[in-house]
Amino acid sequence: MAVFNLNNFDADNFDASNYNGPTGGAVSLSQVGVKATNNNTGASNSIELFNVLRPIWEIANASLTDAVPGIFSNITLTEGTPNTIILATRAYFEQDGDLVIGKSSGNGSLIQGTTVPYATLCKGIAAGLPFNVAKLRYSYTSDSQLDQEIIIFKRTIFGKYTENRISPRSYFDPNQQQSKVVDIPISFAVDAETGIQTTLLASEVVTFNFFVDAQTKPSI
């Protein structure tokens, strides 16, 4: 095999058509999965993914849940012990990175990452590591869940709000081979201003599989 001599390399006369070395294969899309479970067997619960500029684990959102952000107890300023931490009415991350969204009227919801911890995913977005979604695969448990809209929204740091409402039922194909799954051909960026909301029916379990076609790193 001829030895390549960098000192004698002439870029102007280089012919790439003569290259017979290894080439890259087809690039497959990466997947990021988020699973949401409604632990309430008798009532629906609303959930929200991402929205890291105004997250429900830090800032209360009464329109979504009455859960109190964080797990910190109320501290008494006089003699005595702090009030008991009531986890059932809190929105907080567990040690494994799962997000618990409590509810005072009953069991709340649980948000889990299926590929990476959900807390890690949210921290990455908040740190300026957004990604572009090329397709959303939505898995569900009950057929009625298909009638619950998925709202993808943007809320800027200054409060401007825009949204895109999606009906999963519109993408259901009765002839498809896979059951309890719909592919939604929508592309959007997930950054610090992006959030996703939907309502989970009683005991419902759904999974959002985001097919990622690009991940943007901050410039230095």
Q: Does 180 fall in a domain?
A: yes
DSSP code at position 57:
T
pLDDT of the residue at 23: 46
pLDDT of the residue at 175: 86
Q: Does 206 fall in a domain?
A: yes
CB-based burial label for 79 (10 Å; 0-12, 13-18, 19+): exposed
Q: Does 188 fall in a domain?
A: yes
Q: Does 3 fall in a domain?
A: no
Q: Does 155 fall in a domain?
A: yes
Q: Does 104 fall in a domain?
A: yes
H-type helices in the chain, by residue range?
Answer: 118-126
Q: Does 17 fall in a domain?
A: no
User: Would the CA dihedral through 134, 140, 98, 202 be positive or negative?
Assistant: positive
Domain carrying residue 104: 31-215
Distances (CA, A) of 116 to 20, 34, 169, 194, 205: 38, 9, 28, 19, 18
Neighbours of 217 (CB within 10 A): 8
Question: What is the number of domains present in the chain?
Answer: 1
pLDDT of the residue at 68: 85
Angle at the Cα of 112 (from 211 to 151), degrees rounded to 5? 60
- Collapse the DSSP code of 140 into the 3-class scheme (helix H, G, I; strand E, B; otherwise coil) and give the result: coil
Q: What is the pLDDT along the chain (220 residues), one digit of tens a residue?
A: 444 444 454 545 545 455 454 444 444 458 999 999 999 999 999 999 999 999 999 999 988 888 889 866 555 556 666 566 667 788 999 999 999 999 877 789 999 999 999 999 999 999 999 999 999 999 999 999 999 999 999 999 999 999 999 999 999 998 888 899 999 999 999 999 999 999 999 999 999 999 998 766 554 4
pLDDT of the residue at 5: 47
User: Would the CA dihedral through 98, 35, 47, 89 be positive or negative?
Assistant: negative
CB 89 within 8 A of CB 66: yes
CB-based burial label for 70 (10 Å; 0-12, 13-18, 19+): middle
Measured CA to CA, the distance from residue 113 to residue 36 in angstroms comes to: 9
Q: Does 74 fall in a domain?
A: yes
Neighbours of 84 (CB within 10 A): 8
